[in-house]
Chain A
């Protein structure tokens, strides 16, 4: 079920109505769980079984890890949980990719037979909920979390519909306490929290959802043609490549952060706080800063559950660089079973490593006044974004030859006016929308907590704001119902 469809609006209104009518806490939570399962079943049908299996597996293993005092047994249980989740993810997401690689190697070795592809349907959201369940068992193993005594509560944590399909990747320690009356401390002894739709949450939630719909429908969907229109290799020139790359960068940001805004807004209306996932990433001043602002729930997951266990920066310098590259390589592969995502991940790994090498070799740069001045910050932003956008090329172009031509034209400028002008004319509306996005991005950078501030407007002004958003969303709506990019990850 896509957020940007009438189906979702109907679904969400029904949920709000029922939650408001039902006063019994148990029923409220049970209803929310059933609704979340229905949400998943609506788009994934029988694949719901996978979600349920994952819930059972981690709930019981989590309990066993907590119960046992034997360290080895704890380790084995944790490995069972992690390998079970990763096996599920690996089988459904990477089986055909692995078969393809075997077949290619087979061809090189002149083997006549090929392994047939499994052609499995990728279960929606599998990359997100498996990571969530991993945090649960790992945190129990590390002694940071007490296991949930209630299967129902754990199931709601894994399947909570706003974040089920594409995150943010919520940690059990962030979500489970919110199901209880005493939010500060997660104790299963405390009463279940009654779900009340609060005035401030309702207004802020709707504002956030409006931001999300605006980003997705008005900006991201209107840039599809510009970033995806097939342009033959022979016609490409640098201006076209740069504009298309920027368009894709804006599109993926608005698409994904739009989804996140809707998810956070919907959850907030129901009284749940989901972690933020984006913080103006295109104002990042270094690769490390970019990853503190882009897909924050994934980057912090990778840091806490992969980078640190690998040794982080506690070992040798060279090991730190290698760790960064390994983490980003796996982060790239997490996005999809394709080499282009691996290249994207490796590029970011290389950026992080090179940036760290430079800072280690020339520590003076850290304290240089220039980088603290406004000009220096703008300079840093431009340099960082030049590389960030360069890395988007392999992300959106899977064909290796075409990808290399695009990369070459991005670096070695080669303008051809006779191709540029008709291109600009044919894409002028999309280019105007890109300009509009940049303006809004600057405004939201300058004005901190813009959605919160808007939600505090008086009712008439707030309604005026919503009218503007609704106008842009409905009058620039494309009935093609373009799915969110991260739905396929």
Chain B
């Protein structure tokens, strides 16, 4: 093959591959724009299911601390088998008001009668372990070309009005589309491993019911604090009680929206044990309690302060999570009482 033939052939291959790649990217962008808003994640699949129209739903929402509450036990404990009320525990790991706000409209569309919202210190405090990661990434003395490239990429994206963040989700969208095609739209089945119909976003494994002894809890807590783990109270900055705290803003927006849609909101502070609370600054606890009181005043919404109530009880899976249990975990009984009281009112 002569040099000219080689060069022509290379040109053909290069142009064909170039066009193919460009077309494929355009197709993905089109696909992302078409389906992105419709099917972002498995949480939506729960809210999009066809609920029983006769059912009166009670949603427990919050982070993993709320997720550990046994909604099945409470259901059986306070309601008859044929009761029209049904309790769902929608708690999931690392939830905070700012994150939960993204689902607020979906929650409203699911038309719950009552929302019981568990809030803890972590919902309002900034984690120090997050800022440590960011700091450690910025310690190079020499220039970092990656930063320039990312900046360039961002500018290209801005110019074409394309958000590269969208490229994170083709797989999720594809999977959800396949799920929609394969499964009946009426049927909802949690995709969270270990999840159940009434607790879709948090597993109900037996091991989550293990209660630790006081000595084990202390040892565990010391280890977690040493590692700057998220389950240790010293791994957080003091709570910022100013109006700029995004989680406070999000919480207020949510409560307001729920009330506008005639959904009753009951707030409770999630329980902690004495190791967790002892290592907290008293000022932080006061700020948190003040925040809860402000919510009561501003929205005339009942707030149950449970964070100090069980400090010495033998109910702990770790220092900020109660064990998954039944009547032996008094929190379940108390949440049941709260629901009954609110329904009677």
From A235, which residue of chain B is reached at the shortest CB distance?
A: B205
Which of chain B's residues have a CB closer than 8 A to the CB of A425?
189, 191
Are A426 and B193 in contact, with the CB atoms below 8 A? yes
Are B174 and A459 in contact, with the CB atoms below 8 A? no
Q: Does A423 contact B (CB under 8 A)?
A: yes
Tell me which of B141, B168, B171 contacts A222 (CB under 8 A).
B171
A41-B145 contact, Cβ under 8 Å, with A6-B153, A235-B206: yes
Are B9 and A199 in contact, with the CB atoms below 8 A? yes
Within 8 A of B (CB), among A443-488: 459, 463, 466-467, 470-471, 474-480
Are A202 and B149 in contact, with the CB atoms below 8 A? no
Q: What's the least CB distance linking B160 to chain A, in Å?
A: 14
From A198, which residue of chain B is reached at the shortest CB distance?
A: B6
Q: What's the least CB distance linking B159 to chain A, in Å?
A: 15
Tell me which of A426, A459, A474, A479 contacts B191 (CB under 8 A).
A426
Tell me the bound Cα distance from A474 to B142 in angstroms: 34
Which of chain A's residues have a CB closer than 8 A to the CB of B186?
none
Which of chain B's residues have a CB closer than 8 A to the CB of A427?
193
A234-B207 contact, Cβ under 8 Å, with A427-B193, A459-B13, A470-B24: yes
A42-B146 contact, Cβ under 8 Å, with A6-B153, A199-B1, A478-B171: yes
From B173, which residue of chain A is reached at the shortest CB distance?
A: A475
Which of chain A's residues have a CB closer than 8 A to the CB of B31?
475
A7-B149 contact, Cβ under 8 Å, with A199-B13, A426-B192, A463-B16: yes
Tell me the bound Cα distance from A164 to B114 in angstroms: 59
Are B171 and A467 in contact, with the CB atoms below 8 A? no
Which of chain A's residues have a CB closer than 8 A to the CB of B20?
463, 466-467, 470
Q: Does A363 contact B (CB under 8 A)?
A: no
- Count chain A CB atoms within 10 A of each CB in B175, B193, B206 and give the residue with the most: B193
Are A474 and B25 in contact, with the CB atoms below 8 A? yes
Which of chain B's residues have a CB closer than 8 A to the CB of A92?
none
From A41, which residue of chain B is reached at the shortest CB distance?
A: B145
Which of chain A's residues have a CB closer than 8 A to the CB of B9?
199
Tell me the bound Cα distance from A214 to B201 in angstroms: 31
Q: What's the least CB distance linking A257 to chain B, in Å?
A: 21
Are B207 and A474 in contact, with the CB atoms below 8 A? no
B6-19, CB under 8 A of A: which get 1 and which 0?
10011011101100
A326-355, CB under 8 A of B: which get 1 and which 0?
000000000000000000000000000000
Tell me the bound Cα distance from A477 to B16 in angstroms: 22
Q: Does A422 contact B (CB under 8 A)?
A: yes
B157-168, CB under 8 A of A: which get 1 and which 0?
000000001011
Q: What's the least CB distance linking B155 to chain A, in Å?
A: 14
Which of chain B's residues have a CB closer than 8 A to the CB of A471?
24
Q: What's the least CB distance linking A188 to chain B, in Å?
A: 27
Which of chain B's residues have a CB closer than 8 A to the CB of A233?
207
Tell me which of A42, A459, A480 contacts B145 (CB under 8 A).
A42
- Count chain B CB atoms within 10 A of each CB in A43, A197, A474 and give the residue with the most: A474
Tell me the bound Cα distance from A466 to B24 in angstroms: 10
Are B17 and A206 in contact, with the CB atoms below 8 A? yes
Which of chain B's residues have a CB closer than 8 A to the CB of A475?
28, 31, 170-171, 174
Q: Does B34 contact A (CB under 8 A)?
A: no
Interface residues on B, range: 35 or more
A-B CB contacts (within 8 Å), total count: 98
Q: Does A371 contact B (CB under 8 A)?
A: no
B124-166, CB under 8 A of A: which get 1 and which 0?
0000000000000000111011100100010000000000010
Which of chain A's residues have a CB closer than 8 A to the CB of B205?
232, 234-235
Tell me the bound Cα distance from A475 to B142 in angstroms: 37
From B207, which residue of chain A is reached at the shortest CB distance?
A: A234
A422-B24 contact, Cβ under 8 Å, with A6-B153, A46-B140: no
Q: Does A83 contact B (CB under 8 A)?
A: no
A209-253, CB under 8 A of B: which get 1 and which 0?
000000000000010000001011111000000000000000000
Which of chain B's residues have a CB closer than 8 A to the CB of A196?
6
Tell me the bound Cα distance from A229 to B167 in angstroms: 23
Are B21 and A470 in contact, with the CB atoms below 8 A? yes
Tell me the bound Cα distance from A199 to B1 in angstroms: 10
Are B13 and A203 in contact, with the CB atoms below 8 A? yes
Q: Does B299 contact A (CB under 8 A)?
A: no
Q: What's the least CB distance linking B323 to chain A, in Å?
A: 13
Q: Does B178 contact A (CB under 8 A)?
A: yes
Which of chain A's residues have a CB closer than 8 A to the CB of B189?
425
Which of chain B's residues have a CB closer than 8 A to the CB of A42?
145-146
Q: What's the least CB distance linking A35 to chain B, in Å?
A: 12
Q: What's the least CB distance linking B144 to chain A, in Å?
A: 6
Are B12 and A234 in contact, with the CB atoms below 8 A? no
Q: What's the least CB distance linking A399 to chain B, in Å?
A: 14
Q: Does A185 contact B (CB under 8 A)?
A: no
Q: What's the least CB distance linking A184 to chain B, in Å?
A: 22
Are B10 and A479 in contact, with the CB atoms below 8 A? no
Q: What's the least CB distance linking B26 to chain A, in Å?
A: 11
Q: Does A45 contact B (CB under 8 A)?
A: yes
From B1, which residue of chain A is reached at the shortest CB distance?
A: A199
Within 8 A of A (CB), among B8-57: 9-10, 12-14, 16-17, 20-21, 24-25, 27-28, 31
Query: Which 9 residue pairs of A and B lie closest in terms of their CB atoms, listed nearest first?
Result: A479-B168, A426-B193, A234-B207, A470-B24, A199-B9, A478-B171, A479-B167, A232-B207, A474-B28
Q: Which residues of A contact B (CB under 8 A)?
A: 6-7, 10, 38, 41-43, 45-46, 196-199, 202-203, 206, 222, 229, 231-235, 422-423, 425-427, 429, 459, 463, 466-467, 470-471, 474-480
14 contacts between A and B (CB under 8 A): A41-B145, A206-B17, A231-B193, A235-B194, A235-B206, A235-B207, A459-B13, A463-B16, A466-B17, A471-B24, A474-B24, A476-B174, A479-B167, A479-B169
